[in-house]
Every structure is written in C-alpha cells, then in structure tokens.
Homo-oligomer: A and B are copies of this chain.
Amino acid sequence: MSETPLGGSAIRWRGGEGGVLELLDQTRLPGEARVLSLSGLEEVRDAISRLAVRGAPAIGVAAAFGLWLGIRAAPEDQAGFDAVLAEAKARLVSARPTAANLAWALGRIEAAARGADAAPARKRRAFEAAKALLDEDVRTCARLAEHGAGLIRDGESVLTYCNTGALAAAGAGTALAVVLEAHRRGRRVSVFACETRPLLQGSRLTMWELMRAEVDATLITDNAAADVMRRKLVHRVLVGADRIARNGDTANKIGTYGVALLAKAHGIPFHVVAPLSTFDPTIGSGDRIPIEERAASEVTQIEGRPIAPAGARAFAPAFDVTPAALITGIVTEAGVISPVDEAGVTRVLSNPRASI
C-alpha cells in the first residue's frame, strides 16, 4: 500500500483536534484511488453506510473519529456535552448493525471521555482515545499477522474471502495480513481470492492488494470455491470476521458459512483471523448476532447497471454466521484459539495479555 495517496494506509487522521479524517474511497477502487476528506459526523456515517470504508477494524477507527467530529464543537457545559456525545454515538452505532468493532470503538471513546470530570477535558480525552485506537489497530494487525503467519507452510495455497487486508483496517489487516506477512518472510504462498458478490471486495480490493505485493494470486467466482477444493488446489482457508459470539460462532461476509462447510467437506483447515475487538462477549451464540440486509439493488445491479429484469426481487443479507464447530481456529493478537468454543474464547477475553 506504500504508493497509495494516504501513504500506506486506507484511513488516517490529518492534523490536530481541528483536523479531518481521510479515507481511501473503497467503492472506487481499483479504478480510482480517490481520497475522501471528512470533517463531520454525518459524512463519516455515510461513508460507513455505503461501504466507502469497510472491514471491521477500519469501521471501528472511522467510527472513533466520526464520534470526535460529532462532539468537537459540542457545548462545554457538562449536560450539553453529554447530550451531544450520547446522540453522536447513537447516530454512528446505527450506521451498520453487524460489525462488533463499531460499537466497541464508540464505547472506548465514550468511556475515555467519561473518565474526565469536565466537558473540556472529556473532549480532549475523546480525541486522544481516537488517536490511540488507530495506533492500537496498527499494532494489533501486526500481531495478528505474526501469529497467523506461523500457520502458513512453505508452498501453501490459501483461499481468501472478501477483503481483509490493509484496506480493511488502519494497520495491515487481518486474514490477508497473515498471507502478506508469510510472503514477506519469503514463504512461497499463493492465493485463490473469491470475488465476493455482490460488492466484489475480493476482485476489486483483495486482488489489488495482492498484485501490488506481488503475491501469486488467482481470482475465482465464489461458486468455484468448491471446485478448486475438489481439485486439491487449496490447502487452507483464511477469513476475517465482523462479530464473534462468546461460543466462537462468527458473523462474516455473506458466503463465508458456505466456504466453511465446503472446507469441512474437503478436510481443509478453516481459520478466522480477527482482533479481540471483534468479539462480542454479550452474545452467547451466533443466532443472536444482528444480520444487516442490504438493498436489493446491490444484487440486481453492478455499478449502477442492471443485471436482472426490472422489478426483480432480491434477498441481500450482508453477512452469514459460521458455527464454531466449522472453525479450526481463531487467530487473535493474543494467539490462536483452538478448538473454538466458549471456554477458549472466554479464556482469551478475560486475560488478553497472556499469550495462548
């Protein structure tokens, strides 16, 4: 990502408290590397809603600065400030319902603010917390990549889904960061990238990242995943996550559950790579994870052009849930949870500093 307009990142804060949030507009890639400069909460909310910024970690970082943008001009009396903070948080948390990192990041900023007594100090703390959250994401991604790269053997072919690289985070990403780290270490690793309909994050974004890093990458339609597995062309599946329940059930981009079933049927290890901020300990199992439904037009059109008859009805869930039983392991910054069950998840969440 070193030649991107944002100097190696898909999201950054530019300036001090009065600055702007800069994002690489992911709806335009790979055709155009356009930078969005956002200076208001609603602009950030809109960017999250329409997937100009996407990927659970990046959504968290964007939301943190979105909250800052929503409160930086708030009145400095306590009640007035707190009301603006609460409203800004509610507004942002509703931008997309599934990614755990959204509520997690907003909760972090709010808690940091409330740690101070007076409104001016609360503001300052919120800004510092947003910056810290971005820096922490960079470090977390590096640790995910490190733990995950340990899994990849020389010569492996990895199947990836959606986009989970540097475009999905402030840092290097999650599942794709693992592949890139293995490549950086000199391991021969090749990738089958599933295109990931409807919004084609695999073909548009993952292929872009892999080709820039000169990793051996082959694009396939999502429906070819079973066939490449049957042909024994895939040794491992690595995916990201949007929300992980306490028992390890994992919500991720629509189609992930199918890939997990196919991997199981072919005896191929299937790993989720996600920061601890993607875990939602308040939810016991995947059936309680809220699943966002997107507009039918995302399925019936591609880039605004119809691919189905006018008036065609479509069902467009943005995510599905992969049961823990289909997941070989979850790579976190604290190490790899395996087997994936409530005991393993709880152990890591209760003591994230201890390596597994």
Work out how many copies of this chain go into the complex.
2
Q: Does A71 contact B (CB under 8 A)?
A: no
| Chain A, 289-303, CB within 8 A of any chain B CB | 296, 299-300, 302-303
Which residues of B are found within 8 Å of A306, using beta-carbon distances?
A: 31
Contact across chains for B254 and A308 when beta carbons are under 8 A apart: no
Contact across chains for A224 and B255 when beta carbons are under 8 A apart: yes
CA distance A203 to B225 in the complex (A): 20
Task: State whether A225 and B308 are in contact (beta carbons under 8 Å apart), knowing that A203-B300, A218-B315, A299-B219 are contacts in the complex.
Answer: no
Which residues of B are found within 8 Å of A223, using beta-carbon distances?
A: 194, 196-197, 222-223, 254-255, 258
Q: Does A313 contact B (CB under 8 A)?
A: yes
| Chain A, 241-270, CB within 8 A of any chain B CB | 254-255, 257-258, 261-262, 265
B-contact 0/1 string along A207-222, CB 8 Å cutoff: 1100100000111111
- Least CB separation from A255: chain B residue: B223
- Least CB separation from A228: chain B residue: B315
A208 CB, nearest partner CB in chain B, Å: 5
Which residues of B are found within 8 Å of A227, using beta-carbon distances?
A: 254-255, 257-258, 317, 320
Which residues of B are found within 8 Å of A224, using beta-carbon distances?
A: 254-255, 315-317, 320
A320 partner, pick from B226, B313, B315, beta carbons under 8 A: B226
Task: State whether A305 and B303 are in contact (beta carbons under 8 Å apart), knowing that A223-B197, A254-B224, A317-B227 are contacts in the complex.
Answer: yes
Q: Does A79 contact B (CB under 8 A)?
A: no
A218 CB, nearest partner CB in chain B, Å: 5
Which residues of B are found within 8 Å of A226, using beta-carbon distances?
A: 255, 257-258, 261, 320
Interface of A is mostly: mixed
Contact across chains for A230 and B203 when beta carbons are under 8 A apart: no
Q: Does A132 contact B (CB under 8 A)?
A: no
Which residues of B are found within 8 Å of A254, using beta-carbon distances?
A: 221, 223-224, 227
Task: State whether A207 and B255 are in contact (beta carbons under 8 Å apart), knowing that A218-B314, A227-B317 are contacts in the complex.
Answer: no
Q: Does A307 contact B (CB under 8 A)?
A: yes
- Least CB separation from A264: chain B residue: B265
Which residues of B are found within 8 Å of A261, using beta-carbon distances?
A: 226, 261-262, 265
Q: Does A312 contact B (CB under 8 A)?
A: yes
Contact across chains for A217 and B313 when beta carbons are under 8 A apart: yes
CA distance A297 to B258 in the complex (A): 25
Which residues of B are found within 8 Å of A257, using beta-carbon distances?
A: 226-227, 230
Task: State whether A211 and B311 are in contact (beta carbons under 8 Å apart), knowing that A257-B226, A258-B227, A261-B265 are contacts in the complex.
Answer: yes
A199 CB, nearest partner CB in chain B, Å: 10
Residues of A in contact with B (beta carbons under 8 Å apart): 30-31, 192, 194-198, 200, 203-204, 207-208, 211, 217-228, 230, 254-255, 257-258, 261-262, 265, 296, 299-300, 302-303, 305-309, 311-317, 320-321
Q: A204-B309, A217-B312, A303-B305 are in contact. List 15 more A-B contacts (CB 8 A).
A: A30-B309, A31-B306, A197-B221, A197-B222, A198-B221, A200-B307, A204-B307, A204-B308, A217-B313, A218-B314, A227-B257, A261-B262, A302-B302, A303-B307, A305-B305
